[in-house]
Structure 1
Amino acid sequence: MSSNHEGYPTSLGVSTVDTISLMGRDLSADLIGKVDFGDLAYQLITLREPTAGQAAMFNAVLVALADHGFTPTAIAARLTWLSAPDAIQGALAAGLLGGGSRFLGVSEDTGTFLADALAVVDGQVPTDDIGWDALATSAIQQRRKAGGFVPGLGHHLHKNGDPRVARLLALAQEHGTYGPHLALFAAMGRVAPDVLGKRLPLNGAGACGAVLADLDVPLPMLRGVVLLARCAGLLGQLAEEMRTPIASRIFTQVEAAAEYLPIDHDGPTQA
């Protein structure tokens, strides 16, 4: 390298006239046809090859989060495609941009909440359910005392329990990736009704955040993994919109139901 300029270091992709390498391996000879996309995504994020268990759970999270029906993000993508069918990237981006504290961001919020609670014990994690329940109770109480929202609890639809949670917990046990984040998350589900005075079941997005944290995915990357999964779901939504359009009906119904609300400069206008 010439001494009169600085290089731009990367451990990811590097190309020459004749070759393409990725993470130090030949893309064509060593990766294409030999590594599935989920494994590759994990490696790109962590720069480590996943164990069999880590690969299985990372892929399980991608499947669990790919699609959840007509969510706001799916509707946003479909409506954007209705407006600009010549630019699918805009429709896809519209859906991804909706990932926040209510939809798609819960996994990151839960993972961070769990990690913060575990940081308090400084590696001295509980050894039984009684200890985990006590830690979960303390974490929830402190968050509520501070006026904050406890992520990973409750679901707008699955009031009787999110069907993804039990499956992810069982898979993590099966694949040997059930770590402290999932243990604390499970404890949250046990103690939350008593601590909060109401039943808020664990949700799948929170479970996915706990799984990813136990897979050593960096916390700032958790929402990115969720968006990676939802990207596939949004592509499915857009493909279906092309086959069986509904966005025009949504637009027409909302437009037809619009009601003008007179402006009251003296105070709030009552409907």
Structure 2
Amino acid sequence: MAEQRIVHPDGTGINLHSWPVADAKAVVVLQHGFNAHGGHMQWPAGQLNAAGYACYAVDLRGRGKSDGPRYYVEQFDDYLADLQLAFDRARTDHPGLPVFLIGHSAGGVIATSYALKHQEQLAGLVCHSFAFRVPAPRFALNLLQWLGGFLPRLGVLKLKNADFSRDPAHVAMMDADPLIANETQPARTVGELWAADKRLEVSFGAFSMPILIIHGTDDHATLPVGSRFFFDRAGSTDKTLKLYDGYYHDLLADTGKEVVMGDILGWIAARLSAQT
């Protein structure tokens, strides 16, 4: 893995991770969510590298080694602009190669929103543990969105690392990671993600690209019903929903992650074959 600092046009320093591979067949951009940063993509990127895919991931602003107030975003489009930096680098390094996008949790909201705007430029989207429906009622989320306008930096959401994986070693890694220590989401950040979810809710029918939607049935951070909603309403003819029985929030860090990665690799390979 290599890391480099890219200065966003607005002056924010963004940390970019890259996992190169010789004679790459395609590119995969990975987008992290909450309680995470691009460095947490090391295992999936390694598996994708072994299959011949070059990988890229950014630390979103305010997260990982990127600049910005911790865990804070002023407007959702700033996250999309951060993700764009990964695509810009990927296409500079690998012009003409098919590009796939994988987004996890809140990163799934970012990835899905990005994909909706750039469908013609993507070979496929993998939406992983989509943070579209969460264990909170709509009125509470609307209240947090309203609160974000008055007390934007107020901490309102703290996810449990133990909900991410049944693998004690992975949870221990998260607990020891200083880049996510005591991570708490500000009201503005939560409100911006919720506003993005509401925009997506009325836009799923506009999807036409290949989509793989994956979720664990024992996810306590986000709800599988949200992934089902996306699948049912997506306009794409090439769409697949896979639910993994008993899995927690991060399917690519959970016990049995090899099964999930095998499904992703098979799905990507099938889409590449269809293009030839």
State if a TM-score over 0.5 links the two structures.
no
- TM tier, shorter chain? under 0.3
Question: What is the TM-score with the length of structure 2 in the denominator?
Answer: 0.25
Greater fraction helix: 1
Question: What is the TM-score with the length of structure 1 in the denominator?
Answer: 0.26
Kindly indicate whether structure 1 or structure 2 has the higher relative contact order, using CA contacts under 8 Å at least 6 residues apart: 1
